[in-house]
Amino acid sequence: MLLDVHDCQLVLVDYQPRLMPAIAEGDQVLARAQLLARMAQLMKVPTFGTEQNPGKLGELDPSLRSLCSKVLPKMAFDACADGLVDLVRAPAAPGGNARSLPKHLQKPAPTPRNTVVIAGVEAHVCLLQTVLGLIEQEIDVWVVTDACGSRNPRDRDAAFDRLAGNGAELVSAEMVAFEWLGSADHPKFREALALIK
C-alpha cells in the first residue's frame, strides 16, 4: 500500500525550541520535519502542528509554524485529547462555491482525508500517545521515523516498535516525498527533488 497524496494530512508534533536541544540528533530530526513540511506545501497537503505547554516550552519552531495551516496548543500528551481529531476530520474548505448557485453548478463537497502522516518529539511520549489516539479513532497513521526523536534513542526505538505493533506504518521522509509524487512525470518533480537534495 502506498500513500495517496489526496488522502493525506501532515501533523508535526512539538518541535519546540526549549525541547529540541535535548533531542538526540535534534538538528537532523528538525531538518527532516522541515523537508516534510515543505513537501506538504508543494503538494498542497494540509499541515497542522502541535505545541506542548507552549508557555514553558515555547512555540513550534518558526520554520515549521509558518507552513502549518493551524497550530494546536495542548497540555495533554495525546493531542487528540486537546482537539487534534476535530482538526484532521474537518473537511477541507470547498473553495469557490456560492450558495446562490444552482446545485448542478456547485463544486462537489471535498472528500475528507483519512490518512495522517505524522512526526515529532518526543517519540515515546507525545508522538506515541497521539498516534495511538488517532488509531483508536480509526484514522490511518504513517509515522515518519527519521523526523522523530527522543532524548534517549532507546526510548525512540521502543516507541517505533510499539507503534508498528499497533498498526502504524513506519516510513522515512523520502518515502513520503516520492509516494506523494508518484512519478518522475509529476509537474512538481523538479521542485520536490530540489527540496530532497
Residue 100: inside a domain: no
Among 63, 82, 64, CA closest to 73: 82
CATH number at residue 128: 3.40.50.850
78: its cell numbers: 495525546
Torsion angle, alpha carbons of 13, 17, 22, 23, to 10: 30
Domain that holds residue 179: 5-92+109-196
* pLDDT score for 197: 86
pLDDT at 115: 96
| DSSP classification of residue 149 | B
Residue 76 lies in a domain: yes
Give me the pLDDT at residue 168, please.
98
Q: What is the pLDDT of residue 103?
A: 64
- What pLDDT does 100 receive? 61
pLDDT (0 to 100) of residue 107 = 62
What tens digit of pLDDT does each residue of 24-68 get?
999 999 999 999 999 999 999 999 999 999 999 999 999 999 999
Of 132, 86, 90, 116, the closest CA to residue 4 belongs to: 116
Low-confidence ranges of the chain (pLDDT < 70): 92-101, 103-111
101 part of a folded domain: no
Say how many domains are in the chain.
Answer: 1
Residue labelled with grid coordinates 484532521: 88
| pLDDT for the residue numbered 144 | 98
Residue 146 lies in a domain: yes
